[in-house]
Amino acid sequence: MTPAQFDTLLSIVGPLLCKNSNREPLSPAQRLAITLRYLSQGDSIFSIASGYKIGRSTASVVLRETMDAIWEALNNLVFKKWTENYLKRISEDFITKWDFPHTIGAIDGKHVNIKCPNNSGSSFFNYKKNFSIILMAVSDAHYNFTYIDVGAYGSQSDGGVFRNCSLGKALYQNKIPVPPQECLPQSNIDMPHFFVADDAFSLGKYIMKPFKGLNLSDMQLIFNYRLSRARRIIENAFGILVARWQIFTRTITCSPQKVDKIIKASVCLHNFIKKLEYNIHESRKKYCSKTFCDKETDDGVIPGEWRREVGTSFNVILRDTQKIGKGGNNPGTTALNLRNGLGQYLISPAGSIPNQIKHINRGKKLRNLNM
C-alpha cells in the first residue's frame, strides 16, 4: 500500500475511529496502521503491543474496533449490489478475458484454520482434523470478490455451506437477478447464466462444474480445460488474499467472532486496494500486478508470483472444502444436457479457441508418460 492509498483509506475509515478520552487517545492513523500491520504481517497481539508500546488489552480492542470500522466503511463501496446489468457485465468480462461465456462468477469455499474454540465440541473440526471457519466466496473476472459468506462451521461440506448461505438460498429460490437465458455467442444454443465451480459443488442449472473420470472424450477434456481457465480466477483471488494479508498464513488464535472480523476486513481491503490500482500503469501497481497472478500462454500456465510468496503450503493454509455427499453425483437430466450443450459449443467453430486441441493432447501425452 502506498502512502497515498493509506491516506485515501484513512479519509474513509478515520471518522469512525475518533475517540474521546481524558487521556490522549491513539489517533485514527495509528489505529489504522496497527491494524494493517496485524493483517498484512500476521503479527501476534504481543508483538503488536510491544511494537507500539501499548497494552495487550488495548491492542486487542484497537484491532477489533478498527476491523469493524473497515467493514462498516468499505462494505458498500467494494461490494456492489447484484443487479441483472451488473451480473451481465461480469459475464461479458469472463468471455472477453477467459473465453468462457455466460459466467456470472467463479465460486469456491476455503477452510481458514483457527485455534480450537472453547466449548465448541466438534462443530469447527473439519475433515482434515483441524479446526476451521469456512469462507465461501465468489469472484469476478478481475480477481475481485463480489460476495463472501463467513462463519460456517468447519465440519460442514461445501454443498451444505452453499445451500445454507444467503447466496445458495437465494439461488435455489430464484431470488438472484440472474440475466435471462439466451443463446451463446454466434450460435442457436440456448443457455442460462451460471457460476463456475469445482467438483465439490452439485451440477445444476446455475452451477457449472467439470466432467469427472479418466476416460473422457475430447469434448469433455476441452470443456474441463476451458472451465478451469475461468474457475482459476477464484483460486488466484484467494492466493492474492493470503500473500498480501499474511494473517492467513498461520493458525489464527482468536475467537470465531474475531476471525470473522479478520476475514471481512481483509477481503474489503483486498477489493479496495485493487480498485485504487485499476487505472494506474502496470509498473506502479504494488498490490496486484499482472505477474502476480497466473498467466495463460500457448505452452501452458505460468504460475503467478503469489504462489512463490505463499509457497507450496497454500493448500494447507486455505484448505479446500470437503466434497459434498448426497446429491453431489446425481445431477438432474436438465443440468447434464446444459453441460453437454455447452461442451458441444466449445468445440464448435463459434466457441472454440486457438490451441485448445494442443492443450488436451499435451495432457494426454503427460498421462501416458506417467502410466
Write out pLDDT tens, residues 82-139.
999 999 999 999 999 999 999 999 999 888 888 765 544 444 444 444 567 888 999 9
Average confidence (pLDDT) over 55-76: 95
Q: Does 216 lie in the same domain as 67?
A: no
The tally of domains found in the chain comes to: 2
Name the domain boundary from 22, 51, 78.
Answer: 78
43 shares its domain with 183: no
Beta bridge partners of 194: 103
148-173, pLDDT tens digit by residue? Answer: 998 665 445 555 677 778 888 898 88
- Identify whether residues 130 and 276 lie together within a single domain: yes
Cell of 163: 445451500
Host domain of residue 168 = 84-370
Q: 305: how many CB neighbours lie within 10 A of its CB?
A: 17
Mean pLDDT of the chain: 86
d(CA 269, CA 86): 21
pLDDT at residue 226 is higher than 60? yes
Q: How far apart are CA 104 and CA 87, in angstroms?
A: 6
pLDDT value at 244 more than 90: yes
Coil, helix or strand at residue 367 = helix
For residues 90 and 33, is the Cβ–Cβ distance under 8 A? Answer: no
Specify the pLDDT at position 5: 94
pLDDT of 76 > 90? The answer is yes
CA 176, CA 166: separation in Å to the nearest integer?
10
Give the pLDDT of residue 117. Answer: 56
Higher-confidence residue of 8 and 365: namely 8
Q: What is the mean pLDDT of residues 66-72?
A: 97
The pLDDT assigned to 90 comes to 97
Residue-level pLDDT at 365 = 62
More confident residue, 65 or 256: 65
Tell me the average pLDDT across 21-27.
75
Task: Categorize the per-residue pLDDT at 146 as very low, low, confident or very high, splitting at 50, 70 and 90.
Answer: very high
- 99 neighbors 353 (Cβ within 8 angstroms): yes
- In this prediction, residues 201-209 reach a mean pLDDT of 92
Strands 207-208 and 194-196, bridge-based pairing: parallel
Q: Residue 64 — very low, low, confident or very high, per pLDDT cuts 50/70/90?
A: very high
Between the ranges 254-263, 290-299, 306-315, where is the mean pLDDT highest? 254-263
Question: Does the pLDDT of residue 21 top 70, yes or no?
Answer: no
Averaged pLDDT for residues 279-302: 86
Question: Are residues 61 and 98 both part of a single domain?
Answer: no
- Verify that 186 and 247 share a domain, yes or no: yes
pLDDT of residue 120: 45
Residues 88 and 19 in one domain: no
Q: Which amino acid belongs to residue 101?
A: P
Q: Report d(CA 25, CA 65) in Å as an integer.
A: 14
Percentage of residues of the chain with pLDDT beyond 70: 86
Check whether residue 37 and residue 156 sit in a common domain: no
Do 115 and 249 lie in a common domain? yes
Of 78, 102, 131, which residue constitutes the final position of a domain?
Answer: 78
Helices (H), the chain: 3-13, 28-41, 45-52, 56-78, 84-98, 158-164, 166-172, 218-244, 256-277, 305-310, 314-317, 333-346, 356-370
What span, in angstroms and rounded, lies between the C-alpha atoms of 135 and 149?
Answer: 6
Domain final residue pick, 60, 78, 96:
78
The CATH number linked to 41 is 1.10.10
What does the CA dihedral 118, 122, 128, 134 come to, rounded to 10 degrees? -70
Burial (CB < 10 A; 0-12, 13-18, 19+), residue 125, is middle
- Which tens digit of pLDDT belongs to each residue from 181-202? 999 999 999 999 999 999 888 8
57 and 150 part of one domain: no
Whether residue 51 is found in the same domain as residue 161: no
Shared-domain flag, residues 40 and 139: no
Residue 53 shares a structural domain with residue 113: no
Q: Are residues 256 and 114 in contact, defined by beta-carbon separation less than 8 angstroms? A: yes
3-state DSSP call for residue 303? coil
Split at pLDDT 50, 70, 90, the class of 371 is very low
Among 41-55, 157-171, 299-313, 327-341, name the most confident range.
41-55
